[in-house]
């Protein structure tokens, strides 16, 4: 599908996929406060309309379920046409469930959202930026993607997929000398619905996490941990031999 650019404005424009709640919602609000016109994308339309009322800048609302791959891609393409020239696309849609009992339905849903859904949205965004010759793609991964976790095997594997996918795109734009930035953000635990009933430490408030994400985006960093202190945990996790790791985690 060809992207038709309807108009161009001096103000910056962004799209947040997964904007209805959690850090996606907080990040959309920050972008609005910083002057971005924002496209809000998520499955729950009523929550998008609630957020739209809080936004200080012009917004667009586009309902989309990323597990319906073809329709989700078409919805994003349609939104890009409506908005005109978009500078930034954040792919934040994700699914998490503690799966200690190893229930297949939870594994399947995780893969559908975090792998297939993410790839469909990131590919559509990247195709747009490649056509435009510029842009900034941001993917929200997780520190869980660093190593496999016993109670969330598909979640940790899916977030490893996100980071690896983004790293490959970074290599692509570098090799092709494209004016496109790719940012991989790996949050630790954030105070969202995903963290309910989880025995966790270093829980970051949503506004703090979203502000650090915004800072990384504005600096066009290739990679960022959120909050920054998770860098230490990541370093330790990467160094642990497998035989020790599987006994601890």
* Residues annotated as part of the active site: 155
> In DSSP terms, which residues pair with 180 in a beta bridge?
135
Residue 230 and residue 213 in contact, taking contact as beta carbons nearer than 8 Å:
no
Long-range pairs for 99-102: beta carbons < 8 A, 24 or more residues apart: 99/151, 99/152, 99/153, 99/154, 99/155, 100/151, 102/153
Which of 99, 95, 107, 103 shows the shortest CA–CA distance to 151? Answer: 99
Copy the structure tokens of residue 121.
């949205």
Contact 53, 78 (CB under 8 A): no
- The answer to whether the beta carbons of residues 182 and 169 sit under 8 Å apart is yes
Max alpha carbon distance in the chain (Å)? 57
User: Is residue 210 within 8 Å of 188, Cβ to Cβ?
Assistant: no
| Residues whose CB is less than 8 angstroms from the CB of residue 68 and which lie 6 or more positions away in sequence, other chains included | none
């Amino acid at each position: 599908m060809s992207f038709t650019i309807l108009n161009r404005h001096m103000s910056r424009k962004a799209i947040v996929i997964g904007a209805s709640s959690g850090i996606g919602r907080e990040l959309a609000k920050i972008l609005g406060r910083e002057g971005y016109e924002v496209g809000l994308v998520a499955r729950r339309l009523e929550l998008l309309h609630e957020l739209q009322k809080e936004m200080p800048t012009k917004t667009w609302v586009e309902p989309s379920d990323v597990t319906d791959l073809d329709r989700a891609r078409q919805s994003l393409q349609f939104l890009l046409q409506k908005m005109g020239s978009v500078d930034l696309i954040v792919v934040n849609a994700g699914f998490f469930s503690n799966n200690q009992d190893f229930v297949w339905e939870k594994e399947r849903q995780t893969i559908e959202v975090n792998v297939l859904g993410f790839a469909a949205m990131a590919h559509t965004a990247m195709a747009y930026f490649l056509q435009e010759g510029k842009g900034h793609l941001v993917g929200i991964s997780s520190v869980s993607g660093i190593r496999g976790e016993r109670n969330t095997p598909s979640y940790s594997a899916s977030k490893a997929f996100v980071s690896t996918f983004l790293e490959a795109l970074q290599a692509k734009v570098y090799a092709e000398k494209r004016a496109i930035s790719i940012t991989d953000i790996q949050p630790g635990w954030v105070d969202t619905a995903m963290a309910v009933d989880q025995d966790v430490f270093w829980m970051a408030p949503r506004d703090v996490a979203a502000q650090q994400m915004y800072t990384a985006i504005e600096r066009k960093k290739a990679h960022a941990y959120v909050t920054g202190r998770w860098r230490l945990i990541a370093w330790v996790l990467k160094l642990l031999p497998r035989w020790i790791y599987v006994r601890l985690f």
